[in-house]
Amino acid sequence: MTSGQHPDADLAIDVRDLVKEFVGKRAVNGVSIQMPRGKVWGFLGPNGSGKTTTIRMICGLLSPTSGEGKCLGYDIINEAAEIKRNTGYMTQKFSFWNDLSIRENLDFVARLYELPQRHAVVDRTLATLGLQQRQNQLAGELSGGWKQRLALAAVTMHGPDLLLLDEPTAGVDPQARREFWDEIHLLANSGMTVLVSTHYMDEAERCDKIVYLAHGNLITQGRVQDIIAESKLITYRCTGEGVRELAQRFRDQPEVEHASYFGAALHISGIHREALVAAIQRVFPDGQWEEVPTTLEDTFIALMHRGGADKRSFA
């Protein structure tokens, strides 16, 4: 822990009313987030919702237009350098050196952080992330999953208190995603706070809590089951011949908040059971319908509709 950090602070992130404007466009509009230490948080929202901009303000890479707060006990405006020293930030795009081997990449990063006994640190990092057998392979020759593992090793080898991951599993196979998440939970169990930006609902459900942004606004935050419950949505599922042709007809029904395909089935959701049943009777009474638990994806689709159109200003 770096000198100057406040060890008694229970919150890894405590920011209030963050606003960021870029030449005629308000990208983030008054976001407030409180995140306890040692938890895994999912950061969700559609493309362009302000996730990455908010993450960069939190970790001191981008100054807010207005708002205030602390990250790891440090002021996000005046103590940004301290935040960066105690944070690991893994970008969506692989940002290490393709013409260096795995070991050479990690050794270079250790030099940048001026880590003592860096050779021992690199050896330990290679072992922890299962990279020993490939340590002499050029990074540019690695698959997406192995590049991801190398990037995770590089951004955690200095022992940060906060790990920020911006869409880290985009473009990797399901097995690599599962293995990556196993590593994330091991890091959180050791006391690290992890904030993950993701589009995958199954990944969001692996998080202790989630934050959902749309159009630069914070729509909701909390535990997955609480957010689903607070939506008050009731969901019906229909399978059978021709269900794919029915989505738009159900979207036109005022009682239906959303209608979407899930595999070979159609889900419709709303807050009034009797009204949903009435819509079913009007549109497709002969379908194979059943009431099912509302999923996180059902909830987010409804939240997007409730959020309405993007009202941020553009030049």
Residue-level pLDDT at 16: 96
The answer for residues whose C-beta is within 8 angstroms of residue 224's C-beta and 6 or more apart is: 204, 205, 207, 209, 210, 296
Residue-level pLDDT at 140: 92
Token match 């022992």: residue?
159
Partnered with residue 33 across adjacent β-strands are 15
Residue-level pLDDT at 5: 45
Partnered with residue 194 across adjacent β-strands are 40, 163
Rg (CA), the chain: 22
Instruction: Residue 219: count other Cβ atoms within 10 Å of its Cβ.
Output: 18
Residue-level pLDDT at 117: 93
Interatomic CA distance for residues 157 and 109, integer angstroms: 9
Give Dmax over CA atoms of the chain in angstroms. Answer: 72
Instruction: Measure Cα distances from 117 to 5, 86, 114, 307 in Å.
Output: 24, 19, 9, 52
Q: What strands, in cross-sheet order, belong to the sheet with 209-214? A: 87-90, 162-166, 193-197, 40-44, 209-214, 217-222
Q: What is the pTM of this model?
A: 0.82
Residue-level pLDDT at 302: 82
Residue-level pLDDT at 8: 41
Residue-level pLDDT at 2: 40
The answer for residues whose C-beta is within 8 angstroms of residue 217's C-beta and 6 or more apart is: 29, 30, 31, 50, 307
Mean pLDDT by 10 residues, the chain (315 residues): 48 94 90 92 87 90 94 94 92 87 95 92 92 93 89 92 87 82 90 89 89 89 92 93 87 91 90 95 92 90 72 54
The answer for residues whose C-beta is within 8 angstroms of residue 137's C-beta and 6 or more apart is: 101, 102
Backbone φ and ψ for 297, nearest 5 degrees, come out as: -65, -40
Residue-level pLDDT at 9: 58
Helix crossing, 118-128 with 144-156: angle to 10°?
140
Domains of the chain: 11-222 (3.40.50.300), 234-293 (3.30.70.100)
Token match 């497709």: residue?
284
What three-state secondary structure class fits 105?
Answer: helix
Residue-level pLDDT at 315: 45
What three-state secondary structure class fits 214?
Answer: strand
Residue-level pLDDT at 311: 63
Q: What strands, in cross-sheet order, belong to the sheet with 11-22? A: 25-36, 11-22, 66-71, 74-75
Token match 């407030």: residue?
32
Residue-level pLDDT at 174: 83
